[in-house]
Amino acid sequence: MKKNAVFVRDLNFTWPASTISTLKIAYLNIPENSRTLIQGPSGCGKTTLLSLLAGIVLPTSGQTVVLSEDLTKLSSKKSDAFRVDHIGFLFQQFNLIPYLNLIENVLLPCRFSKLRYQNAGNTESSLKDEACRLLNLLGLEPDKFSHLATQKLSVGQQQRVAAARALIGNPKMILADEPTSALDPENRFAFLELISEECSINQTTLIMVSHDQSLSAQFDQVIDLSILNQANGF
């Protein structure tokens, strides 16, 4: 029987400036090493849920256990360390550093996490090799684009750099917010398949938010947050 990668019970989240709950989730379980797609209309709390699972924000009440850690009981410092060691992010806004090149952007998590540094190779030459492997895997040849500033890359190319950065160092969980939104339909499935395959190899749990219902078949479970969320209006 699989362990839980995510266990949520009686979660309630209200933004500080609001009196209305954004999320109310009685129970949520996501098995480890699984592929979960979270769907629902805009405004139903999908991105907020990812932020809660990452420990970026804390619930107003309730329990949020991620990778066997109760995030509500961690200090801010320990929460930051847990996040950088174990969670890879794919944001809607790619958050690439404009003055760093492709390889340097990909390797950022390894600069903040000793664990991911070790997992990625533990030497500077091995780190670069791993970054190049991931970029090539995702269809972006580093030698062709390494001289360009990241803002000179196309949106799809920037998305691939962000994906490689999320995967570097074998984090235990990938949280992805609309990671295929900048890709055309032909490349969308191939891109997701590559990420899923890399997650499977490394036994990484993938949790992804997307409006694209055509992707559902590539996941172990699909959660409609508009049904799960019991907050006002959903």
DSSP 62-125: EEEEETTEEGGGS-HHHHHHHHHHHEEEE-SS----TTS-HHHHHTHHHHH-HHHHHHHTSSHH
pTM: 0.93
Helix (H, G, I), strand (E, B) or coil at 130: helix
Asked whether the predicted pLDDT for residue 189 surpasses 80, the reply is yes
pLDDT tens for residues 50-103?
999 999 999 999 999 999 999 999 999 999 999 999 999 998 788 899 888 899
Spell out the domains of the chain, with CATH numbers in brackets: 4-228 (3.40.50.300)
pLDDT at 233: 55
- Mean pLDDT over 38-52 rounds to 93
